[in-house]
Amino acid sequence: MKKFVVLLIFAAAAGLGAFLFLRGDSDEARVKKVIGRFCSMATKREGENPAAGALLISRTDEIFAPEVRIQAARGGFDGSYTPGRLTSELARCRAVFRRVAVRAQDEEISFPEKDKAFVVFSGTLSGDTKTGTSVSEVRDVECSLVRLEGKWKISQLIVHEVLER
pLDDT of residue 24: 60
For residues 81-99, give the mean pLDDT.
Answer: 92
For residues 125 and 104, give the distance between their C-alpha atoms in angstroms, rounded to a whole number: 9
Domains and CATH numbers, the chain: 26-161 (3.10.450.50)
Strand ranges of the sheet holding 134-148, from the earlier edge strand across to the other edge = 79-81, 64-72, 151-161, 134-148, 116-129, 97-113
pLDDT category at 164 given cuts 50, 70, 90 is low
Distance from C-alpha of 86 to C-alpha of 100, rounded to nearest angstrom: 18
Instruction: Please check the confidence at residue 130 and state whether its pLDDT lies above 50.
Output: yes
**End-to-end alpha carbon distance in the chain:** 66
Of the ranges 87-91, 132-136, 161-165, which one carries the lowest mean pLDDT score?
A: 161-165
Q: Which residue has the higher pLDDT, 77 or 95?
A: 95
Q: Assess whether pLDDT exceeds 90 at residue 53.
A: no
CA 128 to CA 136: how far, in whole Å? 9
Give residue 162's pLDDT: 82
User: Which pLDDT belongs to residue 14?
Assistant: 43
Is the model more confident about 162 or about 26?
26
Specify the pLDDT at position 10: 47
| DSSP type of residue 82 | -
What is d(CA 141, CA 162) in angstroms, rounded to the nearest whole number? 10
Does residue 75 surpass a pLDDT of 80? no
Amino acid identity, position 71: Q
Q: How far apart are CA 156 and CA 34, in angstroms?
A: 13
